[in-house]
């Protein structure tokens, strides 16, 4: 089963392909995604890599956590599940708009 890794402190010039190529040194990569801002398309400085198995994921954490990629020292660890958030209120400043 695939293991998802969080990769933080990415350079703004790191792409999905460069991330996948780098992590493939540790083992088989199922996917690599750099998270981007919806409006500007610019990288948010973090991403996720899915390794095919647990052994490759552990090797990737050991190989890349604290190591340089594109001029930045990476933070690599096992990704936590996405936390559910309460629904956002509509309006301005978190208050309902009254018109």
Provide the domain count of the chain.
1
Contact of 91 with 23, CB cutoff 8 Å: no
Is 30 a member of any domain? yes
- Residue 29 phi/psi, 5-degree rounding, is -105, 125
Answer yes or no: is 21 within a domain: yes
* Domain annotation covers residue 52: yes
Owning domain of residue 50: 3-78
93 in a domain, yes or no? no
Domain harbouring 47, CATH code: 3.30.70.330
Q: Classify burial at 57, counting beta carbons within 10 Å of its beta carbon; exposed 0-12, middle 13-18, buried 19 or more.
A: buried
Enter the pTM of the model. Answer: 0.82
Strands 3-8 and 68-69: unpaired
- Could you tell me how far CA 9 lies from the centroid of its own chain? 9
Q: Is residue 55 part of a domain?
A: yes
Q: What is the pLDDT of residues 6-56, one digit of tens each?
A: 999 999 999 999 999 999 999 999 999 999 999 999 999 999 999 999 999
In a domain, 89, yes or no: no
For residue 29, being part of any structural domain is answered with yes
Residue 89's pLDDT band (cuts 50, 70, 90): confident
> Locate tokens 């695939």: which residue?
2
Q: Is the pLDDT of residue 99 over 60?
A: no
């Amino acid at each position: 089963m695939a293991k998802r890794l969080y990769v933080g402190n990415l350079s703004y010039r790191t792409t999905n392909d460069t991330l996948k190529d780098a992590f493939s040194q540790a083992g088989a990569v199922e996917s690599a995604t750099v998270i981007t801002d919806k409006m500007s398309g610019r990288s948010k400085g973090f991403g996720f890599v899915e390794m095919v198995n647990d052994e490759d994921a552990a090797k990737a954490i050991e190989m890349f956590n604290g190591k340089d990629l594109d001029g930045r020292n990476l933070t690599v660890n096992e990704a936590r599940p996405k936390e559910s958030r309460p629904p956002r209120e509509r309006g301005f400043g978190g208050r309902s708009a009254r018109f």
